[in-house]
Every structure is written in C-alpha cells, then in structure tokens.
Amino acid sequence: MGLSATSKPSWLKTILPGRGEFRKVKGLLRRYRLNTVCEAARCPNLGRCWAKGTATVMILGSICTRSCRFCAVKTGRPEPVDPEEPERIATAASKLGLSYLVITSVDRDDLADLGASQFARVVELVRKQGVEVEVLVPDFDAKEELIKRVVDEGPQVFAHNLETVARLTPEVRDPRHSYDRSLEVLRIARRLKPGLITKTGLMVGLGEDEEEVIRAMRDARSAGVDIFTIGQYLQPTRNHLPVQAYIPPHTFSRYQRIGTELGLKVVSGPLVRSSYKAAEIYHQLRRDYGSGSV
C-alpha cells in the first residue's frame, strides 16, 4: 500500500516559513497570547498557511486532558479557562483582516461542559466581526446539549475527526475516544441543523488497509458528512506511534476519486491536514451546492 517507513520520501518536503505575512501572523498571535494547533501539533503546513495570513486557533489552553498516541499536544492538568480569550481571538481576527477562521481546542474533560460554552462564545464574537467560522471540536462525549451550544452560534462548518480507521482507534486514540461516538457527534450536528456543512478526516500510514479507509468514508457519508480529509501521519517525536508506511500520492488520488463517487468532497494528499485550505474547500462546496452539482 505504501513505502516502508525508513525515511521520508521527497513528496513530504515542505516550504520554509517566509517573511512578510508570516511575521505579521506570528506577531499578532503572540501579542494576543493565542495558541495555534499549527505549532502545538507541529503541522507541516505552518509556513505555507501563515505566509498566506491564515492560522488555526486552539482555545481552552495548550494542555489536553487526553493522551492520543499520534498527537504532539501536551497532556496533563490544564490551566483554568481564560474568560478573556474569546474577546482576544475576535480582536486578532479583525486585526488580521481574516474572512475565515478555524477554531479548535484541546480536550477538557475537567470542565462540566467539556468546553462547549467557550467554543460558543468564541464563535459568537468572531462572527460579529464578519468572519466566517469553522469549528473543529472534541467529542463532547456525544452529548447533544453540548453540541447544540456550539451549533446554535452558527459556524459555517462543524468538524470532528475520526483520526483513524475503526480497527486502529483503540491503539491510536485515547481510550476515552470511540470511533462510533465520533460518528455520532457528526450525526447529532447534522440532525440539529440539517443545512450545516460537516467535516471529518483521517490520517493514513498507521497500518490501515485501503478497504478500511474506504469503509471509513462510507461510514462518514452515512453520518451525513460533507467534507472528508485524508493526510499522511507523521511521527511528532520518538514517544509517539511510529509511521508504518508512507502512502504514495497516487493512492491519495484514488481515495479522492472513490470518496467523490460516494458523495463526499474529499481533500486527499500527503500533507493534507484537517484545516488545510479550509476556506477554499468550504466555498467550493457552497458553489457546488448552489449549482446543484452535489
């Protein structure tokens, strides 16, 4: 299915961060004390995205209560929720002149509402700036009332990642995660607001086979998902799961073709991450829906 994981292939090379817009984004993020998943998760697209003036903001601190074996975000006891964070994010979005912002978070199992109220407040204030919002949420234990708090604030896209195929979920994700629960989160969001665009994604190269990836796409489509991302897993440190295989570009292309036939908008490639070209994909899908081609 892919190359052995002895060394990174040429197609995984990334561009180095440039100047100009990159420095502007970095400076504003520091000024307003904002965390980004770009840095915390060691995203290979950081230089490319920041140079275009975009970033994915990570709310509710930088310490996660869960410990997934693929993830570079720190695990431990989080700091108290910062009540001023939503206002700072809204101000930074305005200063950056953003038209679209992706908001994600660590898991906060220590909070009674698992962080849903903070998500809702951030979406509310950012949307008041005239900025479109995509949320990439934790599973909220698939509690409808918590998912509803976020959906009710009107994000353009509601995303929650499967991360890996069903068989590998117990090995790859924290034991508190569940493949079926993640699908249920997506179903609930779609049921609460039928016109809402929903999104999920997978990493590949963890030992899955092609049929399992295709099955995950089918499961997602059955849950009402619109957008499906597929990207290569890259080991953040020696303490994380090793890469089992580097998946070649032609396999990503085949996944994209199959997913499209299933009715999904598929973004598939070695360096694709959940937020990769998020605004572009959202607007493409809206145009497709408007033209009746989806």
Rounded Cα gap, residues 198 and 159, in angstroms: 6
- Known binding-site residues equal 38, 43, 49, 64, 68, 71, 275
261 CB burial (10 A radius; 0-12, 13-18, 19+): exposed
Residues annotated within a binding site for [4Fe-4S] cluster: 38, 43, 49, 64, 68, 71, 275
Q: How many CB atoms lie within 10 A of CB 292?
A: 6
Instruction: Say if CB 92 and CB 54 are below 8 A apart.
Output: no
If you compute the radius of gyration of the chain from its CA atoms, what whole number of angstroms results?
A: 18
Amino acid at 174: D
Whether 281 contacts 265, CB under 8 Å: yes
What is the 3-class SS of 159-191, one letter each residue?
ECCCECCCCCHHHHCCCCCCHHHHHHHHHHHHH
Contact between residue 118 and residue 86 where contact means Cβ atoms under 8 Å apart: yes
Q: Rounded to the nearest 10 degrees, what angle do helices 210-222 and 249-261 cross at?
A: 30
Nearest to 177 by CA among 144, 142, 150, 148: 142
- Amino acid identity, residue 218? R
Tokens (6 digits) for 190: 């779609």
